[in-house]
Structure 1
Amino acid sequence: MSFTPATCAAGLDPVLAQSFRVSARCGCFMQAARSLNIKSTQLRKHLAQLEAQLQCSLFNHQDNGLALSREGLALQAQLISLAHEHDVPVIEQPLIRLAVAESILHDILGRDLVALLRRNASVRLDIITLDSELSLQAVSADVVLWLADTESPPPGPSFAVSAPQRLARLEYFPHIAKRYSRVAARPDSLDDLADFMLVQWQHDRQVESFRPWNSVVDQRLAGVVQLHSYELMLEMIRCSGCIGLLPHYMSQFDRGLIALPGMFEQPMQRQVWMAVNAETQGQVDVQMIVELIHNTFNERREWFEG
């Protein structure tokens, strides 16, 4: 079958034409579906409908992916020609700015954000990490997730936001890797910490509720490491026999780590808060991120209980 722009490409349903064009460009149904932000089953239905309409096969399946058939190559050429003739613009996606506390991004939210990007390759997302109260005050974003010591809504971002929502209460304990501490020899008092190297994330030095832990670290004359990287601190606890302060959910996040409760009389707690930019809170893409955050915390509710 031979195609001409007048009889074929120009008269195609725009959705079907776009499904074919992106599939031909990607050479992979899954990647094409991500780019179009639809399910792969829906994409395949579009392509099957197009092939039925044209009464031909547009793709040849190969071991390493998809290849266009002779008819598929002809259709692709026509669609490219039409696109040049009409100068079809690229649809700009709105930029979503998400500011989030670094530990929350790494431990809780990161996996679901990756899943979002796997489903939607066309999204525009600017992720900003917060590592201090100063960065919280300086940030400009659509959605903000931060940590604070107080139960009541604390001072949040400097721009106008919706009423802050408390998502979780976190309690913090010293943690150690299980493989570096047998149950019988596991430290259970502050004196026992003398035999272990302590590791501290520098950001935590400014947290008032961590004063009991920070005092122990500050008194150390040896056997202490200060780090500016949260991920490196976790790696040192996992692999270097160090003890560091982490949220109590960490044993859920990493089964190789175990909390050491009971060392401090004063509890060390923080709250997770979320607020949405008052000017952009009604936008569909902003609501998508807000819904993702709520779902993430609801699915991990057991992490924050007890």
Structure 2
Amino acid sequence: MSFTEPTEASRVVQYRAPDADPQTWLALAAGIDIEVVQYFLVSARCGCFMQAARSLNVRPTILRKHLAQLEEQLQRTLFMFKDSSLTLSRDGHQLHAQLLALAHERTLPVIEQPLIRLAVAQTLLHDILGRDLVSLLRRNASVRLEIISLDSDLSLQAVSADVVLWLAGTESPIPGPSFSTTEPQPLARLDFQPHIAKRYSRVTARPEHLDDLADFLLVQWQHERQVDSFRPWNALVEQRLAGVVQLHSYELMLEMIRCSACIGLLPGYMSRFDRGLIGLPGLFNQPMQRQVWLAVNEQSQDQAQVQMLVELILTTFEERRDWFQD
């Protein structure tokens, strides 16, 4: 059979093998390579070659190649497509039952995946890294990954992780993780400025001076109240007697800027992440900047899964290099 997954039902051409006692060819089940047994059982369970490959952490072409060789070895068609769905053929069901019976006699190996812990600043997880992490999980359904969102310097210093991605000063990664790491690596310098939704601000009426903000509602993410480089913005918010919202959710702050005519402090790349938002440069004389830092736990830095995660992060930031350049 063809090991592809069509969008329409296709006619299945069965092998023209001579009729024989089912026990004759089923007796070969005990000699099937244990890895191929896993390929067959997982594909049968998932009903989808792509999902089976993700679960087994192998390329779909490798899985299909082994299953095609199995069909050739047994001279039986094991899978077929019915109404665009992958199902077992009659012979496939017989082999499936035989392999399950054998499974009670021999233990199929379960390859344990190491638990990889990624601690990442909430803004970076939401704006930059989230989409590529989703893509990673689509390709590898067997990964064991714990994602820890960092929303404060306290959480950063208390966390235990294999890979840490955080925001700190432009000259120093301190405060940083409290455990032993590799030398922190700077990935990008972020410039922060007030932002507003385009639909709530006509070009001719956009604020150009601090006094122009008097008629706008300001929104502040509480985590940033303690950021030293944000003192100009924080001082403006603190002196407000009205027209200010303070909250603990980064996502909610973004939503309020998008939908409530609020002005809030966001990274300069935000207009690339969300084209409905626009920065308001020139309101403050003092730049408000932070640096993205990356470090790896010294004890787990050589693990393949950790290196894969680090490579994903480096690639993500390299692909978005124009986001961080003036």
Task: Give TM-score scaled by structure 2 length.
Answer: 0.90
Counterpart position of 1:194: 214
Q: Which amino acid aligns with 1:116?
A: L
User: 2:129 & 2:202 partners in 1: Cα distance?
Assistant: 32
Aligned residue-pair number: 306
Match of 2:63 in 1: 43
CA drift at 1:3: 4.6
1:97 equivalent in alignment to 2:79: no
Query: What does residue 16 of structure 2 align with?
Result: none
What's the counterpart of residue 243 of structure 2? 223
Conservation of the 8 A alpha-carbon contact between 1:171 and 1:267? yes
Call closer, same or farther: CA 1:48–1:6 in 2, change over 3 Å: closer
Q: Measured at CA, do residues 142 and 5 of structure 1 come closer, stay the same or move farther in structure 2, by a change above 3 Å?
A: farther
What is the SS of the residue equivalent to 1:145? strand
Give the match for residue 167 of structure 1. 187
Residue in structure 1 matching 2:275, options 255, 260, 263: 255
Rg larger for: 2
| Residue in 1 that maps onto 2:128 | 108
Aligned 8 A contact 1:4 1:78 in 2:
no
Q: Tell me, yes or no, if the aligned pair for 1:3 and 1:75 is still in contact at 8 Å.
A: no
Residue 201 of structure 2 is matched in structure 1 by 181
- Aligned-partner residue type, residue 45 of structure 2: R
Where do residues 60-209 of structure 1 align in structure 2 (5 Å cutoff)?
A: 60-209=80-229
After TM superposition, what 4+ stretches of structure 1 lie above 6 angstroms from structure 2? none
Determine helix, strand or coil for the equivalent of 2:68. Answer: helix
Show CA shifts across 1:12-48 (max 9, x none). Answer: 1233222111110001122111101123233222222
Offset at residue 63 of structure 1 (A)? 2.5
Quote the Cα distance in structure 2 between the aligned partners of 1:100 and 1:202: 18
3-state DSSP class of the match of 2:105? Answer: helix
User: Where in structure 1 are there 5+ consecutive unaligned residues?
Assistant: none
Q: 2:41 aligns with which of 1, 9, 21?
A: 21
Measured on the aligned residues, the alpha-carbon RMSD in Å equals 1.5
8 Å contact 2:26–2:95 — kept in the other structure?
no
Structure 1 length as normaliser, TM-score? Answer: 0.96
% identity of equivalent residues:
73
Q: In 1, Cα distance between the equivalents of 2:82 and 2:309?
A: 37
Q: CA deviation at 1:150?
A: 3.3
| Distance in structure 1 (CA, Å) of the matches to 2:140 and 2:98 | 27
Structure 2 unaligned blocks of 5 or more: 1-19
Amino acid at match of 2:102: L
Question: Conserved in 2, the CA contact under 8 Å of 1:251 and 1:257?
Answer: yes
2:153–2:175 contact (8 Å) kept in structure 1: no
